């Protein structure tokens, strides 16, 4: 019975499903392009440039999905759950892990870069560090509102029970 209800709700929200499918298709296309460019690379610079683009696209998709999950839990399902708070902590830990990984990775790339492409290295580092920064900042600005609304939903649910 739950599957039928979920299917009916999904059918009612077809513009949202089309938007998410288009977004997933675009991200898959970008990631596939990065992988094919990595395979066709002839120098370390071109390989690692496309590898950084791939890491950037994966990180953007990951942070978008986590924040989108928080919004879905709070505003679409209209249910309070501890998952919103857990997802907030997951984003914080993920951001720390991402930036720690970026520091180690960019140091590794610096050691392997050809001297002819060293003038391009700051752009690569900038892309690696600031790629998912937009979704991290947007998420952190809207997370207090999401958590406040989730708390309000919890209080409403406790009053109705």
Q: For residue 100, what pLDDT is reported?
A: 95
Dihedral (Cα; 22, 28, 33, 35), 10-degree rounding: 170
The answer, as to whether pTM is greater than 0.85, is no
Which residue from 17, 32, 97, 36 is spatially nearest to 62, judged by alpha carbons? Answer: 97
Query: What are the pLDDT digits (tens) for 98-129?
Result: 999 999 999 999 998 888 889 999 999 999 99
DSSP 72: I
* Position 8 confidence tier, pLDDT thresholds 50, 70, 90: low
* Residue 5 scores a pLDDT above 70: no
What distance in Å separates the CA atoms of residue 69 and residue 138, rounded to the nearest whole number?
A: 14
Query: What are the pLDDT digits (tens) for 30-89?
Result: 899 999 999 999 988 999 999 999 999 999 999 988 888 877 777 776 666 677 778 888
Q: For residue 79, what pLDDT is reported?
A: 65
What distance in Å separates the CA atoms of residue 137 and residue 23, rounded to the nearest whole number?
A: 20
Which residue from 134, 138, 131, 123 is spatially nearest to 71, judged by alpha carbons? Answer: 138
Mean pLDDT (whole number) for 156-160: 72
Mean pLDDT (whole number) for 1-25: 71
């Amino acid at each position: 019975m739950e599957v039928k209800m979920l299917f009916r709700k999904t059918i009612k929200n077809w513009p949202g499903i089309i938007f998410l499918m288009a977004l997933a298709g675009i991200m898959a296309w970008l990631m596939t392009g990065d992988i094919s460019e990595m395979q066709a690379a002839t120098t370390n610079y071109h390989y690692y440039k496309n590898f950084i683009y791939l890491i950037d696209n994966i990180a953007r998709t990951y942070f978008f999905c986590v924040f989108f999950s928080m919004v879905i839990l709070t505003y679409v399902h209209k249910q309070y759950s501890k998952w919103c708070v857990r997802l907030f902590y997951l984003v914080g830990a993920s951001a720390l892990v991402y930036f720690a990984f970026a520091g180690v990775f960019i140091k590794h790339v610096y050691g392997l870069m050809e001297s002819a492409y060293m003038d391009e290295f700051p752009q690569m580092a900038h892309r690696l560090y600031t790629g998912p920064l937009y979704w991290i900042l947007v998420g952190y600005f809207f997370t207090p509102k999401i958590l406040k609304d989730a708390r309000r939903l919890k209080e409403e649910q406790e009053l109705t029970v």
